[in-house]
Amino acid sequence: MSTLQQIRSQTRVLISETDEANSHFSNSELNSFTNQAINFLTTLIEYPRDIVEIQVEDGVGIYSLLSDTLIIRTAYFGDVNVKDDIKPLKVLTEETLKELFPTWLDETTDTRGRPRYLILLNRKQIFIYPRPDTAESASGKKVILGYIFRPTDLSADGDTPDLPTPYHTLLQFYAAHMCYAGKLQRIDISNNMFTIFTTKVQALKPTMIKEAQELLRFQWGETDNLETGIASSAADLKVS
């Protein structure tokens, strides 16, 4: 596990400027590059992850995401305290939902029921369809999202990245890449540092790839709507 101070020191070694007093970069600037590295790596490896539960309301289809949401990985609906009530939501694009249900914007009681579909409405909100009716909006009935969130920036020297430990030792290569691309004006070395960074990330990915393959088999192996070919498990949605 690496601290912010250790990552910064390792970056200084890579750029041959170990003394802050005789450097092109302040500690604050290197901290900023480290946080940029963490955010970039977050999207590459889809980590850190969490689960959020959203209580639904009668007739309401739109719900807000947490402000740090980057990617929605999975989506479910139901009451965790009721046996067999939790079911995956089919995650669609708005265009697909429109083709399947041209009246999806209809807010009458006729279009309410148990939610079965979810779309990313915008970068801050999701929409579930059908809108919950009275029975499906009872206390405990929730949308459950597995999502990737934006890590909190490191600021104190003792802070550690909210990433799997093996990735901690890669961050200085991205930070050095930023240094060489900026004030040091050595694009060749910058590109080399970035290549080292991405190569090492790929080398650590086998377990992540295995997990993705397991998820993919589940998605394509369990379809309950052959006419539309929609997989019954959730596809990733990126919040941009």
The two three-digit tokens of residue 145, written as one number: 């999202």
The confidence score (pLDDT) of residue 59 equals 97
| Residue 67 burial by Cβ neighbours in a 10 Å radius (0-12, 13-18, 19+) | exposed
Q: Is the peptide bond before 130 cis (omega within 30 degrees of 0)?
A: yes
**In sequence order, what are the beta bridge partners of 62?**
127
Helix (H, G, I), strand (E, B) or coil at 216: helix
The Cα–Cα gap between 122 and 149 comes to 16
pLDDT above 70: percentage of residues in the chain: 85
Confidence of residue 240 (pLDDT cuts 50, 70, 90): low
Residues 6+ apart with CB under 8 A from 10: 2, 169, 172
The confidence score (pLDDT) of residue 48 equals 94
Instruction: Mean pLDDT check: name the lowest of 110-119, 187-196, 216-225.
Output: 216-225
- Residue 70 scores a pLDDT above 80: yes
**Average pLDDT of span 72-83:** 96
β-pairing verdict for 112-113 and 131-132: parallel
Contact 28, 184 (CB under 8 A): no
The confidence score (pLDDT) of residue 209 equals 53
The Cα–Cα gap between 197 and 176 comes to 10
**Average pLDDT of span 20-24:** 96
Confidence of residue 237 (pLDDT cuts 50, 70, 90): low
Backbone angles phi, psi at 97, to 5 degrees: -60, -40
Domain ranges of the chain: 4-46+152-204, 49-149+223-238
The Cα–Cα gap between 134 and 139 comes to 10
**Average pLDDT of span 137-154:** 96
Residues 32-48 pLDDT 10s? 999 999 999 999 999 99
Helix (H, G, I), strand (E, B) or coil at 159: coil
Confidence of residue 205 (pLDDT cuts 50, 70, 90): confident
The two three-digit tokens of residue 39, written as one number: 């955010």
Residues 90-141 pLDDT 10s? 999 999 999 999 999 999 999 999 999 999 999 999 999 999 999 999 999 9
The Cα–Cα gap between 204 and 195 comes to 14
**Residue found by looking up tokens 């929409």 in the block:** 127
The two three-digit tokens of residue 76, written as one number: 């479910």
The confidence score (pLDDT) of residue 99 equals 96
Contact 160, 168 (CB under 8 A): yes
The Cα–Cα gap between 143 and 132 comes to 11
